[in-house]
Amino acid sequence: MFSAEAPLPLELKDISLRFGGIHALKSVSFDVRPGEIRAIIGPNGAGKSSLMNVISGLYSASSGEIRIGGRLLHRLRPHRLAGLGVARTFQNLALFPALSVAQNIASGLAFRRKVSLGAQILGLPQARRENARVTARVNEVAALLGLTGLLDRRVSTLPYGVQKQVDLARALAAWPHLLLLDEPMAGLTVTEKAAMARHIQALRDDLGIAVILIEHDIGVVMGLSDRIVVLDYGMKIADGTPDAVRRDPDVIRAYLGTDAEAA
């Protein structure tokens, strides 16, 4: 958990991204405060996924600066971001369907394993100690998300909504400081969305984890977020609290529509 004196979990300054002649992002700047839920919204093609991919290291920005925990990043690969306390879920599940819930959650700790495969096979003491630490962490995360009774179940046998929770649990296994969630509500029922929203809120309230959230359900975004960044054609057109964004004329015209204007 961050202290009040700690660096911001994330700072973006004038981030631009080009693909040939396509300008996907144009000088986007914003920050994420400790323990904050920060949403990114906008019409299809606004640049949301491109921005998330830049933050998580899948894309390299054409220009601009990214700082995580005060550290200036330059072409840092995604697997190294995990060591800086950054984790991500994807819109499309990337679980291992043939493995158990426990094994999938444990895969989120793969980058932290120090013991060699040979030591694992031989069952050496250091391997047993590491396995015990991994098991303890898996159990802790499973309890947090209500998955304890499902740890031995194969993921492919679970409903889609539960698989989304397993995906979140895997991202949480290493206790990140910054969690990137790409459409965590996609494909969920109303009841499942409410449960997922409670989990995300608990990450902020109970664990102090900062969250960046891409989500199309505006009701969820408005009820869950502390601040919202709005993109349109790769440019930031608004940035503020849900109430401020809801009333912004540029946002109403670009994205939220007449229902938001009436609100």
Same domain for 75 and 113?
A: no
CATH number at residue 31: 3.40.50.300
Same domain for 15 and 73?
A: yes
Counting the structural domains of the chain, the total is: 2
Domain extent, residue 149, equals 95-159
- pLDDT given for residue 133 in this prediction: 86
DSSP state of 254: I
Same domain for 26 and 72?
A: yes
Same domain for 139 and 252?
A: no
Last residue of a domain, one of 125, 159, 193: 159
In a domain, 3, yes or no: no
- How far is residue 106's CA from residue 120's CA, in Å, rounded to a whole number? 15
Dihedral (CA of 241, 247, 250, 254) sign: positive
Same domain for 258 and 181?
A: yes
7 CB-side CA count, 13 A: 13
Same domain for 136 and 203?
A: no
Among 207, 172, 231, residue whose Cα is nearest residue 26: 231
In a domain, 198, yes or no: yes
Which residues of the chain are under the pLDDT cut of 70?
1-7, 74-79, 111-128, 255-263
Q: Where are the alpha helices (DSSP H) in the chain?
A: 48-55, 78-83, 101-106, 117-122, 125-144, 160-172, 190-207, 218-224, 242-246, 249-251, 257-262
Among 240, 190, 181, 186, residue whose Cα is nearest residue 212: 181
Same domain for 81 and 208?
A: yes
DSSP state of 118: H
Same domain for 102 and 138?
A: yes
pLDDT digits (tens, 9 = 90+) for 163-186: 999 999 999 998 899 999 999 999
Supply the angle between the helices 160-172 and 190-207 in degrees, to the nearest 10. 10
In a domain, 169, yes or no: no
- pLDDT given for residue 1 in this prediction: 37
Task: Quote the pTM value.
Answer: 0.85
In a domain, 1, yes or no: no
In a domain, 207, yes or no: yes
